[in-house]
A and B are shown apart, each in its own frame.
Chain A
């Protein structure tokens, strides 16, 4: 009955690799987001999608490519991983943009 789920929960990989994180929500929400939380707990929005359409792209390197196959899924693909990509990545969804957001459990990415 998980509302917003992410896989994997942990991801340890070498610099230069390509990896994907998947997100699914079963809340029927139209809007989904990706956030990055750094080691100081600062949370910053990366992307938002509304009904499969990209709405916000917050000057994220183009190595990060979100993909929304349908409005219940928003996946994040990262090419050529760098050390600075190490962080916790959160997926979230909301019924309307600007409304209350529901967060997934996070994916802890460590790039070695």
Chain B
């Protein structure tokens, strides 16, 4: 079964507002990553947070990780029309060194209304 489940499945907000997406996963992880996918394009890596980190920032992005709840959130502040995309969380839960792989969640479709 899938490791990550994003919530909500779809989100529409006005430009300038903040957008928050959540990701829940099932097993212990080494790291959790967030990716963006624009329509018809490949995924773009946004941020990686390790299991021993609780919060990370990158520009207008803020990611939190709560390993006790097995959840993460992605906050995009001051949203722009260009942020319209699907956002995926992905977890590396590999137990064996050299056998790492990412398991992707179901994605949140974010629409920014100009």
Residue of B nearest to A100 (CB): B45
Contacts of A43 in B (CB 8 A): 43, 88, 104
**What count of chain A residues pass the 8 Å CB interface test?**
26
Q: Does B114 contact A (CB under 8 A)?
A: no
Q: Which residues of chain A in 26-44 are interfacial with respect to chain B, using CB atoms and an 8 Å cutoff?
A: 33, 40-44
Given A42-B106, A43-B88, A98-B94, do A56 and B99 touch, yes or no (CB 8 Å)?
Answer: yes
- A58–B41 Cα distance when bound, in Å, is 24
Contacts of A25 in B (CB 8 A): none
Measured CB to CB, the closest approach of chain B to A112, in angstroms, equals 21
Q: Which of A69-77, A79-87, A101-109 touches B? A: A101-109
**CB distance B101 to A45 under 8 Å?**
yes
**CB distance B45 to A101 under 8 Å?**
yes
Residue of B nearest to A99 (CB): B48
Contacts of B45 in A (CB 8 A): 100-102
**CB distance B107 to A45 under 8 Å?**
no
**CB distance B48 to A100 under 8 Å?**
yes
Residue of B35, B44, B100, B107 near A98 (CB, 8 A) is: B100
Q: Does B98 contact A (CB under 8 A)?
A: yes
Q: Does B81 contact A (CB under 8 A)?
A: no
**Residues 25-46 of chain B, each 1 if its beta carbon lies under 8 Å from chain A, else 0:** 0000011010101001111110
Residue of A nearest to B91 (CB): A98
**Residues 89-105 of chain A, each 1 if its beta carbon lies under 8 Å from chain B, else 0:** 01010001111111111
- A89–B100 Cα distance when bound, in Å, is 20
Contacts of B92 in A (CB 8 A): 98
Enumerate chain A interface residues (CB-CB to B < 8 A).
Answer: 4, 33, 40-45, 48, 50, 55-56, 58, 90, 92, 96-106
A–B pairs, 22, beta carbons within 8 Å: A4-B42, A41-B86, A42-B2, A43-B43, A50-B98, A56-B101, A92-B42, A92-B43, A97-B94, A97-B98, A98-B30, A98-B94, A98-B101, A98-B102, A101-B33, A101-B45, A101-B102, A102-B45, A103-B35, A103-B42, A106-B40, A106-B41
